[in-house]
Amino acid sequence: MNTKLHAICDSQGRPIDLFVTAGQVSDYIGARALLGGLPNVKWLLGDRGYDADWFREALQDKGIRACIPGRKKRKTPVKYDKRRYKRRNRIEIMFGRLKDWRRVATRYDRCPKVFLSVIALAAVEIYWL
């Protein structure tokens, strides 16, 4: 019953693509799943969970600059734009607004497909209608 929601958002914090994984699964799985659906952008903001060399290289191949802080256990620190990284709060606000829907916050649905459908419905109503 534990899940993680991975999302791609635009610059205004509106969700474009959503993906649900099991709670114990690494964030790399969500990153790999959403990599194909990335829009044509200049920057990608992500949290420490998405810090992987293969992910940074995949973004670079697409012409996207990564603004992802390095993990604490990384031997060589990674440089990132701290000022730009502060804008990631828009994504956290988006997750908070989705959880205003009680059905999303409490996860009544056992089936992951139904749960993702409810999240998508909430996202459409909150941001796109």
pLDDT by residue for the chain (129 residues), tens digit each? 688 899 999 989 999 999 999 888 888 899 999 998 899 999 999 999 899 999 999 999 999 999 999 999 899 989 999 999 999 999 999 999 999 999 999 888 888 899 999 999 999 999 988
Cα separation of 110 and 22, whole Å?
12
DSSP state at residue 9: E
Give the helix/strand (H/E) hosting 26.
none
Which contacts qualify for 104-109: CB closer than 8 Å, 24 or more apart?
A: 107/1, 107/3
Q: pTM, whole model, 2 decimals? A: 0.85
Nearest to 119 by CA among 106, 104, 109: 104
Could you confirm whether domain 3-128 is CATH 3.40.1160.10?
Answer: no
Half-sphere exposure of 22 (CA within 13 A, CB side): 2
Domain ranges of the chain: 3-128
Closest CA to 7 of 94, 129, 89: 94
